[in-house]
Chains A and B, each alone.
Chain A
Amino acid sequence: MSTSQLFEYTPGTVDRDDPLHGELMELNMGPQHPATHGVLRIKVVLDGETMREVEPVVGYLHRGKEKTCESLGWRKFFPHTDRLDYVQPLLNNCAYAMALEKLAGLEVPERGQQIRVLLMEMSRIMAHLIYLGTTSIDLGAITMFFFTFKERERAYSLLDAYTGHRMNNTYVRIGGVYADVEDNVAAGIKEWVNAFPKAIDEFETMLTGNRIWFDRNRNIGILTKEQCKAWSLTGPNLRGSGEAYDLRKAMPYSGYEQYDFEIPVGTVGDCYDRYLVRIEEMRQSVRIIQQALAKLEKTKGGEFLADDRRYVLPPKETVHQSMEELIHQFKIVTDMALPKGHVYHAVESSKGELGFFVASDGTSHPVRCHIRAPGLMNVQAIPVLMKDRLFSDTVSIIGSLDFVMGEVDR
């Protein structure tokens, strides 16, 4: 397929004087619209019910995160990563921490990695639940929203028990995680995760064979493999089109190569396939969490934070007793320098490839921290999928591409 065929959409291509179409109407969908999942605005030019021109307008939630990182420094940016894709804060934390560890050449202890895998997979399930809940409420299945949020609430309670926060946890540190997973938390996660496949079955009973759900998603918003690659789409959107590409398998991090899981792929590449892929990903995440819990059982009592005093805070007990340790803590918090160099690290987030590109000049503040947001690429694909389709398809397509504006606008 040549690039010109892939480039189906060029802005402003509708011929306004063409007598073959009726009176054109310009419509703004958003920025405050429940179906745009945040502050996304979509400018559409309608010919009857058919969309002739579609242009997403982003930036309403732009908070200058990359500039903030340059002025705050390496460490203090951690809480800001939570607020990127705010439905999966711990996964963002992990991605940023891994980029910094790559730069520092720091090894995370085995138990730290296992805890991270556990947290990342829980985040993935929670993000997919948001996708499922919001997409189905947009398509009229209101009950689904409560079903998914009930499950999400359980995961929230577990994270609350572990981190002390429901949202915006900031629990990952350079070199590992802030605290160990205690037995009661592990038991709680185990109980939840063992019961969760039943909840997925429930979701599937509601949706997979549902005539309305099927009709509104099947053959809507079809993307081919080649289109996905050309439009920089990754994650479930790429896999929905049949390309079995997952960063957890292709470029493993945090010891993902030791876990046994499958990569679900779609066949048609439409909204329905992307839905099926996400449902199956939740099941696979459950498998990974069960394996991670089994591994945590074996490494009980092990180190979960690297023992490297250049980047890791000294233990609180010693800080409160020793002057030197207090000074050390102060030094790390205020100006922890990282070695010179350019580093990119990407993880498989629930939306696709979430990457942090950091450039360091050897000081405590980055020269540049670029966040490669998968959501922005998903938004970019909206016109490709929506042009010359019916207006009612917008909600299916927006929902199935799955993005969170906090990450798109940064």
Chain B
Amino acid sequence: MAHTAERIASALEGLAHELSTGKDGMCSVRVAASDVHECVLRLRDRAQFETNTFVTAIDHFPKEPRFEGLWQFMSVAHADRVRVSALLPGTEPKVASIVDLYPGAAYAERESFDMFGIVYVGHADLKRLLMPENYDHFPLRKDFPHHGIEPDRLYREWDRRRRERAAVSDHSEIADQ
């Protein structure tokens, strides 16, 4: 692990960061939200972290700054990992996308946007991944209740449109579909 920490420290030289070791023995880097892209770029090019493992966030509601963005990378050559974290504000959380560095982070960023509403600036196709496209809420935020908000709203809207179409059409609903 000492070797990993040294590699990371030398890669991030000159960039304001805080290096610590997590409970699982993994090196963890805390940077400012504006430095995430630069930090990830250096970790990739100077410390050989070739693979993005996940991009996600933690909601610390009602604390402020509310979100803790998390990025984790793995080095196939060195068989070790690093975790990058940055604090993001509760209102309009925004951070640079790393898709230009790791194309494989595209779905992970979409998922994080879907679940927390964090906007990854620079992502070419940032839209919901798991929830329906016309869904209004961010389910993994702590102020979203576990039983959901209007869980049947989307169904009711679909049903209303279907009835309207059926009323206009001379034929039955089946023919309309």
Contact = CB atoms under 8 A, between A and B. Distances in A.
Interface of A: 3, 6-7, 10-12, 58-59, 62, 64, 66-68, 70-71, 102-103, 229-234, 238, 243, 245, 250-251, 339, 341-346, 353, 355, 357, 359, 367-368, 370, 372, 376-377, 379-380, 409-410
Contacts of B53: 232, 344, 346, 353, 355, 372
A367 B58 contact: yes
17 contacts: A62-B131, A64-B139, A67-B139, A67-B144, A103-B24, A229-B50, A230-B103, A238-B76, A243-B76, A251-B79, A341-B22, A342-B83, A367-B58, A367-B60, A368-B59, A370-B56, A380-B107
A372 B54 contact: yes
A66 B140 contact: yes
A341 B22 CA distance: 7
A contact face: mostly helix, strand, loop, or mixed: mixed
A297 B124 CA distance: 56
Contacts of B50: 229-230
B124 A344 contact: no
Interface of B: 22-24, 26, 28, 50-54, 56, 58-60, 70, 72, 74, 76, 79, 81, 83, 100-108, 111, 115, 124-125, 128-132, 139-140, 144, 146
A67 B140 CA distance: 6
Contacts, number: 111
Contacts of A234: 51
Contact of B24 (A3, A10, A345, A367): A345
Contacts of A339: 23
A342 B54 contact: no
Of A3, A229, A345, A410, which is in contact with the most chain B CB atoms at under 10 Å from its CB? A229
A59 B125 contact: no
Given A245-B76, A342-B24, A230 B102 contact: yes
Contacts of B79: 245, 250-251
Given A7-B103, A243-B76, A409 B52 contact: no
Given A58-B130, A62-B131, A410-B130, A342 B22 contact: yes
